[in-house]
Structure 1
Amino acid sequence: MTQKAERIFVKGNEAIARGALAAKCQCFFGYPITPQNDIPEFMSSEMIKAGGDFVQAESEVAAANMLLGAGATGIRAMTSSSSPGMSLKQEAISYMAGSEVPAVIVNMNRGGPGLGDIGPAQGDYYQSTRGGGHGDYRHFTFGPGTVQEAYDLTIRAFDIAFEHRTPVLILGDAILGQMKEPITPWEPEGVESEGGHDWAINGRDDGREKRLIKSLFLQEGELAEQNKHLQAKYDSWTDLAECEEFETEDADLVICAYGSIGRIAKSAVRKFRKEGKKVGLFRPITLYPFPSAQLKALADQGKRFLTIEHNLGQMLDDVRLAIRTVTDSDFYPIYPGNLPTPDELEEPILKSLEGK
């Protein structure tokens, strides 16, 4: 990569937009909804300056289908939304997965269900890691916890999308999207904004053989083979699972948390450490593939676990699946609609630490 010298002070939303431009994103299709509005607002001017195209679509449905069309031609393209808007995009995302179209999608999770509120929450974890739409599919999912990570993972999202021909989702929330932190921008080397893909549908002026991108498979056995192929691809992502382990080496209790709750839990862990209590943090960075092997390795060392989420218990399933042959995990929910603080986490952490 090529590092830039200056550090800048930006919101998480803007960091994602800047990361997309650094990754040579050429098309952005958006629709306004809080708390992700900074992304299309930034892209509406900066994408044009970068020589790309910005479209404010007439709906989230339209934006997602525009993304499908752009990705099918081999162009680096992105859309962003927040929870209710993401629900409207699911049909097109299923088509992208089924037809193996690369795309980057950002969800700044807000409270729900329904319209909920515009504050932070993590209630979209299931939707983000289980496919979200119809049919059997998964897509790669990142859960950044810092503004720098939001920038970095956006660049990686484009690389993974095109290397594996898959939609890649970046899952944040109102905390990550709206807070400001200093970041060091950088640009990847050797990135082509479009072209050069032997699968892309971009015309036949060169006389090449016909190409077809589709998610409809009607011949006998054809869909089964496609699903087998897709599952093999998803299984291959296991080696790409990534996490942060903080103070876990000698920890008696390991907190499992992701995204903004992971960073809040990290503050609580630091306080407990100052008091001599052996608490650590396990923060998944890839939510799918989930870093199950890394978590089980901690369970094999005899550690106890407490999962903390800003929902009623969703990542908890993945934690328990990872450690199911060894132990279980306690759980502390932060109900959407509440703003969590490190102090709020101290009592449930202490109870789990003491085995209560």
Structure 2
Amino acid sequence: METLHVDLAGRSYPIWIGPGLLGDSARWRALIRGRQVLVVSNTTVAPLYLHSLAKGLEGLHWSSFLLDDGETHKTFANVGRVLEALGELGARRDACIVALGGGVVGDLAGFAAACWMRGIDFIQMPTTLLAMVDSSVGGKTGVNLPVGKNLAGAFHQPRGVVADTDLLRTLPQREYRAGMAEVVKGAAIGDPDFFAWLEANADALAAREQAPLIEAIARKCAYKAGVVSRDETEQGERALLNLGHTFGHAIETAGNYSEMLHGEAVAIGMVLAARLSERLGMAGAGDTARLVALLGRLGLPTEPSGQHPASRLLELMRLDKKNSAGTQRLILWRGIGKAEIVAHVPEAAVLDVLLPG
């Protein structure tokens, strides 16, 4: 098992990574300060793992709220339903939400926790690879709107992250591959040695071998924990974690959050960001080729589907939260491990990489 910490001003929380953690209630139950718990999960995960979690909640006053599965259910309406469930539980200020699920569950449950009585505790228990390596760490919570992804939300840090790698055994192959995109992203942003390690271990990771998988999760979480500790509310360095996301979110939004998984869109977005970096003279084609090759070996897409006009994708990119004063502000790179924030990116260059071919 690996233990990491996110160290913030005046507070810290653990990230536990390894097998058997869901059943290790002596470890995570200490994070629950009150007697009331609402478990938020979904209709896919709950039948598999809610009974195991329930054993660790014995003696507490708890209930569960289940979402339908999928990105399309990360909405304000469902936040309202979680808040109603907290009301029915009679939740006080020392109540706790446990988010048992992937990124949708974690983001929505965390946002509800931030809203109830202006902030109660929550614990992340991610059940997907993508959630383990990215969304469960760092305190970003929120929901999607028809005009854009994650445009409503709050920074609200969890009490802890319990990443039980045994839960990945039931994760569908497509979801597993999507999670690998976020692992690659961390290396592409700021760790060229980790990127080379991923290239050397790509086949083992694709086969879900446990030892390299746990190491990959831990290395990605350690990198993100360091960034979050230095820049909790994304005033500077933390924005680098969005490499590929401006393109990727536009692709997701254009498809009404139902055509592509988040990690698939991010994989394509990273490639587009790398190509744009080439066009702007910031990086060479060799780094883009290495990125495309690694993503391909991990079973991820690297090209847009062509279903949505480039002009539509550019329009959606203008709504990105990193933009300011009406100008495009993107995360690009100067090669593997050298991402940076670039302001005033010419829209003509962005449109150029979005066009087919």
TM-score, normalisation: structure 1: 0.35
The structure whose Rg is larger is 1
By relative contact order (CA 8 Å, sep 6+), the higher-ranking structure is 1
Q: Which has the higher helix share?
A: 2
TM-score, normalisation: structure 2: 0.35
